[in-house]
Amino acid sequence: MSILRYEPWGLHQALFREFSRAVDRAAQDDSSGATADWAPAVDIEEYADKFVLTADVPGVDPATIELTLEKGVLTLSGNRAAAAEPAGVERRRVERATGRFHRRFALPDTVDSEAVSASNRNGVLEITIPKRPQAQARKITVTH
């Protein structure tokens, strides 16, 4: 015989933690549009000569991803379609978000907007944004 500890509030605490996590994620990501169903996780790295943004977009057809750079704002949007539900199957858990996504990033003036490139490998979108060469200070000689 084993003794089990009765915790009547355990389920409520787990639900509260999940709700808190969802609210925290929403509060941290103010770059998503109001009409977006979800927002992909994005890492941003800065190198001496470029910025690299890496976005997790598994299950999204790369041809449907919209990437624009206008007035110093990089906009990433697209759609992940819901999987067809086979007949006779009851879903027990659905955690992967589907629908429209939208992210915006303000970029510094030092980026070279004409040389931006993007690639998608295994559901990871990598956007490379080169920096413009900085203008070098030069000495000006005063003549008589």
- Say if 57 falls within a structural domain: yes
- Say if 43 falls within a structural domain: yes
Q: How confident is the model at residue 73 (pLDDT cuts 50, 70, 90)?
A: very high
CA separation for the pair 109, 51 (Å, rounded): 12
- Say if 92 falls within a structural domain: no
Higher pLDDT: 37 or 9? It is 37
Cβ neighbours for 62, distance < 8 A, ≥ 6 positions apart: 120, 125
Q: How confident is the model at residue 103 (pLDDT cuts 50, 70, 90)?
A: very high
* CATH number of the domain within which 58 lies: 2.60.40.790
- Say if 62 falls within a structural domain: yes
85-94 pLDDT tens trace: 888 888 888 8
What pTM does this model have? 0.68
Task: Give the containing element (helix H, strand E) for 99.
Answer: strand 99-106
- Residue 43: CA atoms inside 13 Å, Cβ hemisphere, count? 6
- Residue 127: CA atoms inside 13 Å, Cβ hemisphere, count? 24
Q: How many separate domains does the chain show? A: 1
pLDDT surpassing 90 at residue 43:
yes
Tokens 């005063």 sit at which residue? 142
- Say if 26 falls within a structural domain: no
Q: Please give the residue range of the domain that contains residue 128.
A: 31-82+99-133
